[in-house]
Structure formats: C-alpha cells, structure tokens
Structure 1
C-alpha cells in the first residue's frame, strides 16, 4: 500500500520509476557480466581493468555535450533513444559472440558504446524528475529511485550478471539488451512536455560554457564534485581488478562467477537501508556528515578483503559501503535539483559527472597499472589511504556552505 508521502508523487513519476528500475537492472547485469567475460579471455589485471576504464571513459569525453543536448532536447526522447541504442549494441555483440567472433576487443567496444549512451541517459533521468514531482517531494522521489536503482543495479543485476555470464556470452549480453528494450517501451507511454526550454538558443559550445560557469560559481557544488572525484578514483582503482582477487581457483577468495555476483549484491542491502534513512539522516547529520560516513565506509569496503578472507566480513563491509553511497548520492542529487535552474540542470549533472565519474575511468586505469606492477594488496592499501585522505582534505569545504547557499537559492 502506498503511503501518503509516496501516493502524491503521481502516476507519471511511477512510470518513470518503473522504467528507470529496468534500466538499472540492465546496467547492473552488464557491469558484472563484462569483467567476467573479460576474465574468460585473459588473466592480465591491466586488460581486465581496461573494461572498467573503457566503460567510464565516455564521461571524460562526452559528458559536457551530453548535458547540453539534454537541456536542448525532449528529455523523454533522450531516455528512449539511449535505451534503444544500448539494446541494439548489445544485441549485435551477443550475436557476434555466439558466432565465435567475440574477443576482449569486442567487450571494450560494448563497454564504450554503453558508456556513451549512459552519459545521455543518466543526465536526462535526473533532470526530468523536477518536471514530474513537486519541489518539496524531491528528496522522497530521489530516495525511492535510489532504492530501486540499488536493488536492481547492485542486487538483482549483479546476481543476474553472474548467472548469465556462466551461461555464455549470448545470454550475458542478450539479457541486458532485452531489459533495456522493455524500459524504452515503458517510457513511450510517459506523456507530457519534457523540454526545459521552448527552443535552443545559441551554440552547443555556449551552452556548455554556461554550465561550467554555474558550477565554478558555486562553492558547494565545487566541493561536492571534488570530494566525490577522489573517492571514486580510489574506489574504481580497487574495484576494477577485484575480480582477479576474488574469482577463480588461484585467487585469494576462490569464488565462482555466481558467487562473485552474489557478493557484489551485499552493497545493495546497505544502499536500500541508507535510502530509507535519508530524510532523517539529512535532517539530523547534514551533508558534511553524510560525506564523512560515505568516505569512511568506502575505505572499509576496499580494505576489509585484504585483512580477512571471511566472506561474511567482506559482505558486511560492502553493505556498509552501499549505505554510505546511498546517503551521499541522494543528498547531492537533491541538492543539485534545488540549487540549479531546470534549464541548466542537465549541464550541471553532466559537468559534475565529468569530474566525479571521469575519475572512475582514470581510477580503473591506474588500478590496473598499479596491480600489475606492485600487486593487488598494495593497490588496496593505497586506495584506502587515498579515500581517507580525500575525506580529511575536502570535508571542511562543505562546512557552513550548504544551508547558506540553498537558502539563498530557494528564497
């Protein structure tokens, strides 16, 4: 039964929520399937890490024009087009793999192509929410989307990805393609006007510059982007090669692909809990404290597998990591939606992700190089130290800035 707080979000929001949940399921499935498929081609950490690097690289190359396009276009059509493009790409790759033409190079193409479409989809998905719900319901709407995203992306998706990868390349790539097609079909029924501006004015370059200037002028948004960039860099460096540490008879944990997928779902448990607690946590702790919780939990998630091979302890660390991410993600998404004018929102989301998600690409690449050079354990220790250093260096930047800037914007 819907509670009063959720029933007022409206049927259009729930249609978007359903489509976004399917998209997250496909994304979570592919995220686990790709490194597992790469593991079948090579044991080299740097080549396996290359999959994560290639998937995140589009955020460095295309995020700024993607945000400008989202602010110019009908955002519903952007969402539909991105899902259909991903489905088509994976379908072709699945057929190639079944026909015996698969290779790690094909996996890089899939990862890169899916990443390009994700720059458009992710920016549009956040930017469309304020058009569907009232301003004072944004935190609730975002928390519900976070719960669905984590349940699908971090729980059901990884488990499904491990299962499908065990069945073969056709199932591993064809499964997400089917789910993205279903999500696109659901968005076709989402009616309404979803352009932020009546018509595009000026050049795409001028739009990009306007978004960069807005971010540069905001101390709060700058500090958020920098802090997440450091945390993401360290986390990506560790996670890009964690499959080498965890999967196979010669690995430290000795997991099968299905076991690896199940372990990755532990973070979804914590994320769902964090999403449910976001309103109370924000009111009681504030954004700065949520940042510190996230950084500390991410450091623990990286280090615990080095300290112990007990799967219950590692799963607990991943659950706490998921809780921290959920608290932080919902808080910062709602903050941007309240601080940024709707006509600029796509550009601000994409600019933030150029900094924060672009660091995922650099972190994945660095993780592969460091692991290949000095070993996995040394990499995990270094990534833990970097995460904690980022917390100490950047959390003071948010002190006393958030409430002041938000109140000025909302007054």
Structure 2
C-alpha cells in the first residue's frame, strides 16, 4: 500500500526570528511542570500504600493499591498517544493536572480524616496514575513542537536528568513526609499538582500548529492507534531499539531483585538499600548531563551498541563479586546499579532524540505510547521471572546468567545492525505535517 507523501510549505522566516522565539522560556516551563509532576507522583505513589498499610496492617492491600497506580502507566500509553496526536498537548496536560488535583482533594482526605474505606485509595491511585500518564505523555510529545531541532538532544538530556533527579529525591522525600505526618505527602502532592497546572497554563496556546486539512474525515480511532505500531514496524532502528530496551528492562528488574535479595541474605546494613537506590539516580543524572555530547557525535545505532557493551562492566562486576569477599560485594552493589543508570541515561537520550528528530510530529504521541507500553510492560514480567530464577539458581549463577544474556544481546545487535546491515541515512525532516502511510503490518 503506497500513498503520496505531502509536505507542508512554510513561509520564509526572517533570519532573526529564531533568535527572538522564546523557546527556552517555554521549554523551562515544560521542564518545570514535568519536575513538579514527577516529584508529586513519586511521593504520592509511595505514601498512599504506606497509608493503607498503617490503616489496615495488610501488606496485600498495600500491594494491590500500588499495582492500581502502576497499571495505567503500562496500559494507557498507546491510547493516550493517539489522544495527544489528535489534540493540543497543552490541553491534555491541563486536564491531567486538574484530575490529579480532584483526586488529591476528594478521595484521600476521607480516608485520612474520617476513616473512610481504604478501597477509596485504590480508586485514588488508579485515577492518579491515569492523570499522570496523560500529563507525562503530552509533555514529552510537546518537546519537538517547542524546541528547535538543533537543540533537541540537549532538551531530551535535560528531561532525562529531571527523571533521574525526581527518582533520586522523590521517594526519600515521600518517606520523610509520611514520617512527619500521614497527611503531609498528600498536601505536598496538592502543591506540586497546582504548580504543574500553572506551568501548563502559561505555555503557548496551542503547543502545536493547526492540523493540516487532508480533505476528508478523520480516520477512526483504531486506525490511528495502529499507525503507531506500523511506524515502529517499518523503522528498523526504532524496532530494534524497542526490542533491545524491552529485553534489557526485564533483565534490569531481575538485577534490582538480585541486589535487594543479596542485601537481605548477606545481612548487610539496611542503609545500603538507600545507598543503592540513590546510586541509580546519581548515575542516571550524571549520564543525562553527559549524553547529549555523545549523541551529537555518534550515529544512534552506534550509541545503542556502545550502551549495550558498556552495560557489561557493571553486570560483569556483579557476577564476579559474588565469588569474592563480602566487602567487595557490598561495594559492588551501588556501583552496579549506579552504572546501569548511567549507561541507561545515554540509551534513553539516544532513543528519545531519534524519536524527536525522525518520527513525524503528527505520529509522535502514538509511537511514544507504543514504545512505552512494551518497555514498561516488560518490568513486572522481569520481576516475576527473576524471582523464580533466583529461587532456582541462587544469586551467583543468576548474576552470571544476566551478564551473559546482555552480552548475547549486544553481540546480536552489533552484528545485525552495525556490521552486516547498517541503517541507511534518512532523507527528509521530521517536521512534515503529514506523514506517509507506513502501510499494512
């Protein structure tokens, strides 16, 4: 199936217009809103299960409440991607934050103040997860509409740094606030949501240019939904990167479970858990700051291969450390998890920059949604498989198997994508308003 690609002619732009365009201020608003959204989400999703545990004493109830917050982030990315491709992302961000405010005000205080049924917290976490997914997906889609193409790698790097920074600070902050008062994390989330809503209101209206009239009715929702899958299927590098990221996400969930199991089994001090959790944030933050320079120098396929081989160092160190003195193992755990975060930041910036520069903007939300669905959906699968693997084999053999599996992935990707069949240089630009139909799957 073939269709004619239509580009949109734009009027000539004066040379000094780009200098006057306040894109840095707009991106700063977008970045700040994402940071407030991330901090509020981290504290809220940690504190609400703790509140349920304090109210009921049931770990099962707390676990189901945590799952209620995770499922929307896994299941809704692709449908939300269709939504943000249909409408102005700014409007979706405003709706998402308004929904978070409503949840925080209406569903949590009755449990805190009047001993309402804890089942309200399940609804609160589910709706909060939906609203956070709306905001985060729309904010990511808005980046190439606000930032000039030559600065996209820098913008994606800053967003990646923000994600690791909120991860590094949000959960400890949530625990601290809950220790001070059970209502404190909810009040904090209320303030963060209000701030994120204000940043969205101050963004330019609309964020994206008006859609091009294609001379016909809009395609059905299911067809627009499938378009994201089709584009990923037809773009060989994106398809390969998605497979790599999905498999490594599952592997790294097993690594996390392995590290937590090792800390408990070896009787290491509990503070080491905090150090390990902070290490991934520190490593990811440093990697995010350095990644844009490398992304600008190397082709995406070479960066992905480099990341895969670089992961061998922390994974290999963990496999070797299980056969050494426990003091070496204790020092290796934060190095492993921090190293995975450092390299992972380079991978995320590489793929994110490729998305922003090579995917047509009217398809970006759908492509990002499909990508996130598979990449994040692999995480619970990795935890379950990793738990069975640890029980059957133990920490030492499992760590060696993880390193070997990553090595196989790196070798296969390097041979197929770099040596035998490197991707050809693309022509055209991601700024065309109407994308070619990728054809049937």
Name the TM-score, length of structure 1 as normaliser: 0.80
Residue 62 of structure 1 corresponds to 76
Residue 194 of structure 2 corresponds to 181
* 1:285-344 deviations in Å (ceiling 9; x for gaps): 832334315643674698699775766543333322221111111110000111110000
1:86 equivalenced with 2:88 (yes/no): no
1:20 equivalenced with 2:34 (yes/no): yes
Mean Cα deviation higher: 76-85 or 380-389: 380-389
Residue 161 of structure 1 corresponds to 174
1:206 equivalenced with 2:223 (yes/no): yes
Match of 1:74 among 64, 72, 88: 88
Residue 142 of structure 1 corresponds to 156
Assess if the C-alpha contact under 8 Å between 2:168 and 2:278 holds in 1. yes
Show the 5 A alignment for 1:186-335: 186-195=199-208, 198=211, 201-237=218-254, 239=256, 252-255=267-270, 260-261=273-274, 263-282=276-295, 283=297, 286-293=302-309, 295-296=311-312, 299=315, 308=326, 312-335=331-354
Residue 362 of structure 2 corresponds to 343
- Structure 2 Cα separation of the partners of residues 43 and 334 of structure 1: 44
Residue 435 of structure 2 corresponds to none
| CA 362–170 in structure 1, closer or farther in 2 if over 3 Å, else same | farther
- Structure 1 Cα separation of the partners of residues 195 and 91 of structure 2: 15
| CA 167–231 in structure 1, closer or farther in 2 if over 3 Å, else same | farther
What SS class does the counterpart of residue 206 from structure 2 fall into? coil
| CA 288–260 in structure 1, closer or farther in 2 if over 3 Å, else same | closer
Assess if the C-alpha contact under 8 Å between 2:46 and 2:175 holds in 1. yes
Assess if the C-alpha contact under 8 Å between 2:37 and 2:132 holds in 1. no
* 1:255-313 deviations in Å (ceiling 9; x for gaps): 26xx7556422222222221222133232583233431564367469869977576654
- Structure 1 Cα separation of the partners of residues 111 and 260 of structure 2: 21
Assess if the C-alpha contact under 8 Å between 1:119 and 1:350 holds in 2. no
Show the 5 A alignment for 1:99-178: 99=113, 100-101=115-116, 103=118, 108-151=122-165, 153-178=166-191
Q: Number of aligned pairs?
A: 398
Assess if the C-alpha contact under 8 Å between 1:267 and 1:320 holds in 2. yes
* 1:99-149 deviations in Å (ceiling 9; x for gaps): 44575x666544443333343223212211111111111101111222223
What SS class does the counterpart of residue 16 from structure 1 fall into? helix
- Structure 2 Cα separation of the partners of residues 342 and 227 of structure 1: 24
- Offset of residue 76 of structure 1: 0.7
Assess if the C-alpha contact under 8 Å between 2:80 and 2:134 holds in 1. yes
Q: What CA RMSD, in Å, does the superposition of the two structures yield over aligned residues?
A: 4.0
Assess if the C-alpha contact under 8 Å between 2:168 and 2:281 holds in 1. yes
- Structure 1 Cα separation of the partners of residues 100 and 145 of structure 2: 25
| CA 360–16 in structure 1, closer or farther in 2 if over 3 Å, else same | same
Unaligned runs of 5+ in 1: none
Q: Compare CA radii of gyration and give the structure with the larger one.
A: 2
Unaligned runs of 5+ in 2: 1-18, 431-441
Show the 5 A alignment for 1:41-56: 53-56=67-70
